[in-house]
């Protein structure tokens, strides 16, 4: 087997046995990237020099008996909205072109401390605003299952590199589904942790009360490994959770017998594509056959979650992106006055979707409209959180399709923002509540495109979430890989 097709767990075992070196593993992953990038455009930057140095050091450390953990020597990719010392960080925006940070994000520091090899930075929708990775200033990323389709977004680059084997794992960020939705569309595992469990220090903010960094991998076990490496309190992040949280591996192999699994009725009926609905029902049947207690649960306020999100997130984006003015970061467009310079820089630097959301957010926060829009949206957010709390009093986990559709065609929704926003209808509620959620691939539709199954759990409920996700993975038996990866792996 080509080492690029190994899971993190498999590669780690071979590295420790001496059957594989970190240098050879990196070379295999790079070969895969060299053969796929012309088609996919999933990477913005490949850090050849830095990754090689890390792989050499990883091998030397293992020779010394210095094993830094399960990610030691493993090639990992980073979404390009996480700052990396000495490596360009752009958020896929012209306004940050050429920006080279002087420090690493906390998650990057933790990966490096664990011996991971950072392959490069992946493409995304500009400032993480989008559901297709078509909004990047540096070009669209394509889906490895069908390059005429989108990979989802905004972490489309991270999902694509894991699916195709040009990284064994990746980090994405999830503000309204931006890890889980592309994971679903690319046939990989994507997980959003409880808000605050993973530091946001060094994540270039989109919407600070919603953003969360999480893993994208090929298996649930690998997702746990990557999550464990980056989770934990960080004094540099004021919103970082200070308490203890349960061992996410404690019940990983226990199955689902006796667990109460709630189907969210508002997110599992109308509007779900037939192929997605069929795979979702088949997975429910397998869970029931394995002893789970399947019941329907209503979350009435989720009907308004999408509308609330598209007031809260743009409002926070409007405030966060005010710092990008041509004075401190990136390129500058000269003007006769400071105001003219800032206006020209922002007009030239931001793409249409980012501009749209800044304008929407600024309007929602403006005098005379704050209470009617932003204030009301926050009340809906509270209602969503209360609905979730009530539901978790009745069930252990909730389940929905991850995305209402499989991967749609490139350009199909580019001129229809509402249709694009509806891509995240199943994922947004857990961002509003701050609870964890994970997408697991469970099958293919009639067009041969992957379908994701979403498991949601209460705050700090990563343990039961991973327990159910592992059972879903085992029961579905989904081991398919995109043809782009399998044909190259056999070559």
Query: Per-residue pLDDT tens for 365-380?
Result: 998 889 999 999 999 9
Domain with CATH 3.90.1300.10 in the chain: 3-261+392-489
In the chain, the percentage of residues whose pLDDT exceeds 70 is 99
How far is the first Cα of the chain from the last one, in angstroms, to the nearest whole number? 10
Distance CA 211, CA 179 (A): 11
Tell me: pLDDT of 488 over 90: no
Distance CA 310, CA 104 (A): 30
| Catalytic residue list | 79, 154, 178
Q: Mean pLDDT throughout 94-121?
A: 97
Q: Mean pLDDT throughout 435-449?
A: 98
More confident residue, 479 or 270: 479
Of 463, 306, 474, give the one whose Cα is nearest residue 397.
463
**pLDDT for res 490:** 52
138-196 pLDDT, tens per residue? 999 999 999 999 999 999 999 999 999 999 999 999 999 999 999 999 999 999 999 99
Question: Rounded to a whole number, what is the largest CA-CA distance in the chain?
Answer: 71
51-88 pLDDT, tens per residue? 999 999 999 999 999 999 999 999 999 999 999 999 99
* 450 alpha-carbon distance from chain centroid: 16
Write phi, then psi, for 425 (nearest 5 degrees): -65, -30
Question: Which run of H or of E encompasses 120?
Answer: strand 117-122
State the Rg of the chain over Cα: 21
In the chain, the percentage of residues whose pLDDT exceeds 90 is 94
**pLDDT for res 35:** 96
By residue count, the chain amounts to 491
More confident residue, 33 or 330: 33
Report in angstroms the alpha-carbon separations of 77 from 226, 255, 285: 12, 31, 35
**Confidence at 489, pLDDT banded by 50, 70, 90:** low
**pLDDT for res 270:** 83
Q: Is 65 buried (19+), middle (13-18) or exposed (0-12) by CB count in 10 A?
A: exposed
* 162 alpha-carbon distance from chain centroid: 12
Tell me: pLDDT of 491 over 70: no
CATH topology of domain 3-261+392-489: Amidase signature (AS) enzymes (3.90.1300)
Q: Mean pLDDT throughout 229-244?
A: 97
**Bridge partner residues of 118 (DSSP):** 76
């Amino acid at each position: 087997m080509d080492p690029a097709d190994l899971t993190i767990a498999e590669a780690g075992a071979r590295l420790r046995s001496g059957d594989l070196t970190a240098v050879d593993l990196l070379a295999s992953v790079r070969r895969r990237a060299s053969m796929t990038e012309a088609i996919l455009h999933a990477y913005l930057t490949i850090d050849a020099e830095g990754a090689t140095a890390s792989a050499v050091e990883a091998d030397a450390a293992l020779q010394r008996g210095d094993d830094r953990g399960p990610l030691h020597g493993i090639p990992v990719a980073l979404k390009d909205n996480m700052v990396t010392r000495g490596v360009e960080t752009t958020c896929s925006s012209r306004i940050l072109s050429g920006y080279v940070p002087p420090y690493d994000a906390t998650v990057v520091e933790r990966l490096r401390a664990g011996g991971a090899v950072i392959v490069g930075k992946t493409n995304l929708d500009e400032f993480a605003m989008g559901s297709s990775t078509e909004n990047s200033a540096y070009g669209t990323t394509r889906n490895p299952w069908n390059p005429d389709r989108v990979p989802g977004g905004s972490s489309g680059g991270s999902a694509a590199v894991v699916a195709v084997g040009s990284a064994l794992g990746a980090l994405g960020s999830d503000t309204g589904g931006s890890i889980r939705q592309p994971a679903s569309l690319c046939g990989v595992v994507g997980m959003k942790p409880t808000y605050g469990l993973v530091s946001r220090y060094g994540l270039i903010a989109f919407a600070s009360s919603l953003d969360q960094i999480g893993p994208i991998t090929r298996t649930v076990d690998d997702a746990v490994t990557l999550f464990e490496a980056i989770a934990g309190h960080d004094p540099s992040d004021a919103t970082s959770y200070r308490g203890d949280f349960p061992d996410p591996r404690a019940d990983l192999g226990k199955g689902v017998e006796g667990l109460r699994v709630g189907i969210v009725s508002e997110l599992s009926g109308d509007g779900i594509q037939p192929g997605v609905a069929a795979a979702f029902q088949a997975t429910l049947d397998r869970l029931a056959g394995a002893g789970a207690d399947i019941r329907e649960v209503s979350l009435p306020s989720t009907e308004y979650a999408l509308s609330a999100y598209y007031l809260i997130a743009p409002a926070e984006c409007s405030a966060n992106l005010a710092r990008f003015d041509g004075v401190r970061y990136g390129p500058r467009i000269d003007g006769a006055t400071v105001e003219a310079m800032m206006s020209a820089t922002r007009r030239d630097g931001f793409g249409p979707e980012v501009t749209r959301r800044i304008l929407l957010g600024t309007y929602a926060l403006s005098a005379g409209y704050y209470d009617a829009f932003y204030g009301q949206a926050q009340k809906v957010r509270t209602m969503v959180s209360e609905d979730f709390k009530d539901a978790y009093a009745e069930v252990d986990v909730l389940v929905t399709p991850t995305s209402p559709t499989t991967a749609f065609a490139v350009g199909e929704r580019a001129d229809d923002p509402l249709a694009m926003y509806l891509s995240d209808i199943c994922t947004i509620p857990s961002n509003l509540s701050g609870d964890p959620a994970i997408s697991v691939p469970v099958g293919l539709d009639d067009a041969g495109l992957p379908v994701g199954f979403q498991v949601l759990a209460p705050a700090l409920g990563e343990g039961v979430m991973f327990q159910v996700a592992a059972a879903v993975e085992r029961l579905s038996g989904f081991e398919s890989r995109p043809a782009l990866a399998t044909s190259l792996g056999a070559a």
